[in-house]
Chains A and B, each alone.
Chain A
Amino acid sequence: MIEIQDVYKTFGENEVLKGITATFQPGKNNLIIGGSGSGKTTLLKCIVGLHEPTKGEVIFDGENFTNMNFEQRVPIRTQIGMLFQNSALFDSMTVEQNIMFPLNLFTDQSKSEKLDRANFCLERVNLTGKNKLYPSELSGGMKKRVGIARAISMQPKYLFVDEPNSGLDPVTSILIDELISELTQEYSITTVVVTHDMNSVMGIGDHIIFLHQGKKWWEGSNKEIAKTDNKELNNFVFASPFMRAAKASL
């Protein structure tokens, strides 16, 4: 379980996050949604420690992550998997080397054990046999799947995903969403997904936080989102004529 308590983040004069408090439960797809500039990615980066919150705390299973130094954070970080918006695969390494990289650094497994794990992860994301390809030889969707394979290679307790559907066609987007959801339930991972894709929200949003102007504006599930009378959330979710028509037909 991840708890964030009263998190503020300021860049110079610009206050991006204004006191956000939330709890993310294991085995659930926790979605952070909101318009561009609402602070979604900043909040994600504060949770994983890429940004230090100006004020507030991030707690991983009772351990206060915010107050830890680099060395103290390492045991928690080895339990974190993250899929970046642009996949962030290491260009100089093959798919297999990318997946084995954290295993090389943080485990004492033999080479064959690491290779087995890499093959298992690739199979899990339907990329069997792509071991020797370089990131430059992969499509956008394949890169995302390799990113997921690398993220799960260390059997993480926490999975963070930043804009998993950006730049992908609708079919691949749904496949990526389903994969994230399956892994979350299969391994009881605490998953936090930052997105503004409505298909993801409606498809896998077990627990949704809506950010607006740096504040938590609404919290609920995908079942509750259609019934809410929150004006800003309705403006965001039902911005397109298609979504408005879908809501009207409910």
Chain B
Amino acid sequence: MFHSLGKYILLLRLSFRKPEKFSVYWAEIMREMVSVGIGSLGIVAIISLFIGAVATIQTAFQLISDFIPKTVVGGITRDSTILEFSPTISALVLAGRVGSAMASQIGTMRVTEQIDALEIMGVNAPGYLISPKIIAGVTMIPLLVIVSVGLGLTGGYIACWASNDVSTNDYLRGLTDGFNPVIATVCAVKAISFGFVITSICSYQGFYVNGGSLEVGQSATRGVVWSCIMILFCDLIISRLLL
């Protein structure tokens, strides 16, 4: 456990060494950003719309009463979407989509000697392979979370319109009433942290693969499992510290 943690920290240190040539790394960062950002937009959009709608319907089911103003549903949906659903559930889905792809890509490069080829050329392989992925993760995953928040709240609006449990006017008033900016900060911190966790853990798992295609698959699975565990752990720590 401590041996792996040490290897992980050393790998991160190697990943952020001075690049051999910035322009080459920049091109790689852009490529990874497109892969992480644009490539994940569809799945994030679909889950966000549904989660927003479900959150609204379930909140309305539990809270509709003559003693509670109907605008509360919008407020609770907003807070739960921004604080928890969008950053955490998006991150868990992205761990499966982006993380496993990163672990298997790097793992395949390891078992087919492509990483050895980079090292022979004098290229800092962790820097060239891992740092663009981490940079893409910590920049694009927060942007995906912003999109997810917008679509989650839109999903809630659609659910109100379709079900008539709460009027759309009450829902919209609930969204804007009593907004505390701290929840946006917490959401941003979570999104950046989760971006780092997914990309660094999955890259680590891929980089130290030993063996063949079976081990590459196992490393991708390990990467996703560890990313999910660490996402939930960070979620707890950030919520405890910032709220």
B113 partner residues in chain A, CB cutoff 8 A: 84-86, 88
For the complex, is A105 an interface residue (Cβ under 8 Å from B)? Answer: yes
The reply to whether A77 and B120 form a contact with Cβ atoms under 8 Å apart is yes
B residues 18-55 in Cβ contact with A at 8 Å = 20-21, 23-24
Cβ contacts A36-70/B at 8 Å (1 or 0 each): 00000000000011100000000000000000001
Question: Taking the complex as formed, is A224 at the interface, i.e. its CB lies under 8 A from any CB of chain B?
Answer: no
Query: Shortest distance in angstroms between B219's beta carbon and chain A's nearest beta carbon?
Result: 17
Judging by beta carbons under 8 Å apart, are A102 and B121 in contact?
A: yes
With CB as the reference atom, state the residue of chain B lying closest to A98.
Answer: B117
Q: Chain B: which residue is nearest A153 at the CB level?
A: B121
Residue among B112, B117, B123 making CB contact with A105, cutoff 8 Å: B123
Beta-carbon contact of B24 and A48 below 8 Å: no
Is the CB–CB distance between A50 and B121 below 8 Å?
A: no
- The yes or no answer to B122 lying at the interface (CB within 8 A) is yes
A88 near B116 (CB under 8 angstroms)?
yes
Residues in A with CB closer than 8 Å to B23 are 104
Give min CB distance, B116 to chain A, whole Å: 6
The answer to whether B24 touches A104 (Cβ under 8 A) is yes
Q: Does A78 contact B (CB under 8 A)?
A: yes
Contact yes or no, B122 A77, CB < 8 A: yes
A105–B123 Cα gap in the complex (Å)?
Answer: 8
Question: When chains A and B are docked, how far (Å) is the Cα of A78 from the Cα of B108?
Answer: 24
Which partner residue on chain A sits nearest B21 by CB separation? A105
Q: Is the CB of B120 within 8 A of A73?
A: no
Q: Report yes or no: A78 in contact with B119, Cβ–Cβ below 8 A.
A: no
A151: min CB distance to chain B, Å: 9
Write out, one digit per residue, whether chain A residues 128-172 have a CB within 8 A of any chain B CB (1) or not (0). 000000000000000000000000001000001000000000000
B124 at the interface (CB under 8 A from A): yes
Instruction: Describe B's contact surface by its main secondary structure.
Output: helix
Q: Cβ of A85: which chain B residues have Cβ within 8 Å of it?
A: 113
Residue of A nearest to B113 (CB): A88
**B59 CB–A CB distance under 8 Å:** no
B122 touches A50 (CB 8 A): no
Does B213 sit at the interface, judged by CB under 8 A?
A: no
Interface size of B in residues (CB-CB distance below 8 Å): 17
Q: Are B121 and A105 in contact (CB under 8 A)?
A: yes
Q: Bound complex: CA of A104 vs CA of B72, how far in Å? A: 58
Specify which chain A residues have a CB less than 8 angstroms from the CB of B169 in the assembled complex.
Answer: none
Question: Which parts of B115-150 form the interface with A (CB within 8 Å)?
Answer: 116-117, 119-124
CB closest chain-A residue, reference B114: A88
B86 to chain A: closest CB distance in Å? Answer: 31
CA distance A99 to B123 in the complex (A): 15
Q: B120 and A86: CB pair below 8 A? A: no
Q: Is A193 an interface residue (CB 8 A)?
A: no
Which B residues lie within 8 Å of A104 (CB)?
A: 21, 23-24
CB proximity to B under 8 Å, residues A90-107: 90-91, 101-102, 104-106
- Could you say which residues of chain B place their CB within 8 Å of the CB of A106? 20-21, 121-122
B residues 67-118 in Cβ contact with A at 8 Å: 108-109, 112-114, 116-117
| Inter-subunit contact A88/B122 (CB<8 Å) | no
User: Known: A105-B20, A105-B21. Is A77-B112 also a contact (CB below 8 A)?
Assistant: no
CA of A78 to CA of B21, assembled, Å: 14
A104 to B119, CA, bound (A): 15
Listed by A's residue number, 21 A-B pairs whose Cβ atoms lie within 8 Å are A50-B116, A70-B124, A73-B122, A77-B122, A78-B122, A82-B117, A82-B120, A84-B113, A84-B117, A86-B112, A88-B114, A89-B114, A90-B109, A90-B114, A91-B112, A104-B21, A105-B21, A105-B24, A106-B20, A106-B21, A106-B121
B residues contacting A by CB (< 8 A) are 20-21, 23-24, 108-109, 112-114, 116-117, 119-124
Interface residues of A (CB under 8 A from B): 48-50, 70, 73-75, 77-78, 80, 82, 84-86, 88-91, 101-102, 104-106, 154, 160
